[in-house]
Amino acid sequence: MAKRQGTVGERLTAARLEQGLTISEVQQMTKIQARYLEALEQDEFPNLPGIFYVRAFIRQYANVLGEDPEELVDIYDGKIDPYAPEPEQLPPTQIVEEVVRKRSEKEDNRVKSSLPLIILGIFALAILGVVLYFMFAYKGIQPLIDTDRSLKVERMLDSSNSSKNDEKSSSSSKAKENSTTSSSAKKGSKKVEISQISASGRDVALEARNIPGEVEIQIKALEGTKTWINIRDEVGKNLYVGTVSYDNPFPPLRLSKGMKQFYIIVGASNNTDLRINGTKVDMSPHLNGGVFNFNISVKYLDAANINTSTN
């Protein structure tokens, strides 16, 4: 039987349906409330009482359905890719053939990679031979140069170089003026800054400053991975819930103008690239995987105008 793939909720749902069980029947077997079972099957872990109960409920539900509880907990913690393909097992004869084939390919690649260097070396030796030939062939010939013409040429070259230097200094001064004008124009804008205010377990408070009018959230999964995302507004209303993969990117989400606080729940922080108005959120303190709850407060660049527009 092929190994089951998918998120925690997808695997639990598939196992329950294969056994023909209902949520009510599983509730009787596990003594877990139906709403919590439904939250597990929908990967809505923030709706459960707490992280301790999430792991306990996953193990209990998996044991009843005959699934591997520790594997599902590792998927929840982000230690295992839920969509990783099962390694293909080859017969011993095919394994030997595969080893021989790979060695042969490695030797061929080594020869191919060395071929350009060999050609380049032959070409360099040919050029060196031609140069040495002309050096020895014309060694005894003295150049016949008219002294007066030589002086005229030198004077013409000096005059040409002087005019070029004048042109370069003129263009250099113009470039400096343009650079000064450009830098003074950029002083009016400020880069969006994101800093951590506090952290308690998997609850992290961030502050985003210098937001120029609207908050734009960009999220993508790292290459070959997936992550689960839940975005909520300041009153807890869901704005987005779903799985984001490298091949199926998350479209940038713009929040309502003037929103002063929002929440982002990340299901696999070590697979997630999170940016706010182009500025990357530092995920390095949260790379142990699992669910992290980010509470983000917003400081707008022009707070007076934002307050007026919202009022």
What digits encode the pLDDT tens for the residues 50-108? 888 999 999 999 999 999 999 999 999 999 888 877 656 556 677 667 777 888 888 87
CB under 8 Å to 50, separation ≥6 — which residues?
Answer: none
pLDDT for 66 equals 93
Looking at 53, 76, 99, the residue that finishes a domain is: 76
pTM of the prediction?
0.40
Indicate whether 161 belongs to any domain. no
pLDDT for 3 equals 66
- Asked if 73 contacts 58 with a C-beta cutoff of 8 angstroms, the reply is yes
Indicate whether 178 belongs to any domain. no
- How far is Cα 301 from Cα 256, in angstroms, rounded to an integer? 16
Average pLDDT, the chain: 79
Taking residues 267-279, what's their average pLDDT? 86
CATH number at residue 60: 1.10.260.40
Taking residues 167-180, what's their average pLDDT? 54
Taking residues 139-150, what's their average pLDDT? 51
pLDDT for 60 equals 95
Indicate whether 82 belongs to any domain. no
- Domain count within the chain: 2
The share of the chain scoring above pLDDT 70, in percent, equals 75
pLDDT for 92 equals 64
Confidence check: pLDDT of 7 > 90: yes
Confidence check: pLDDT of 243 > 70: yes
Indicate whether 47 belongs to any domain. yes
Indicate whether 15 belongs to any domain. yes
> Which stretch of 2-11, 27-36, 145-154, 189-198 has the lowest confidence by average pLDDT?
145-154
pLDDT for 121 equals 87
Indicate whether 296 belongs to any domain. yes
Indicate whether 31 belongs to any domain. yes
Confidence check: pLDDT of 261 > 70: yes
**What is the pairing mode between strands 238-245 and 226-232?**
antiparallel
pLDDT for 244 equals 87
| Selection from 69, 57, 55 nearest residue 33 by Cα | 57
Residue 283 lies in domain: 193-310
Confidence check: pLDDT of 20 > 90: yes
Q: At what angle do helices 51-65 and 69-76 cross, to 10 degrees?
A: 140
Looking at 17, 43, 76, the residue that finishes a domain is: 76
C-alpha distances out from residue 306 to 215, 217, 281, Å: 12, 19, 24
Please provide residue 22's backbone torsions phi and psi, each rounded to the nearest 5 degrees. Answer: -100, 165
Looking at 76, 91, 115, the residue that finishes a domain is: 76
pLDDT range class, residue 153, cuts 50, 70, 90: very low
- How far is Cα 50 from Cα 55, in angstroms, rounded to an integer? 9
Confidence check: pLDDT of 303 > 90: no
Q: What secondary structure, in 3-state letters, does 173-212 show?
A: HHHHHHHHHHHHHHCCCCCCEEEEEEEECCEEEEEEEEEC
Indicate whether 51 belongs to any domain. yes
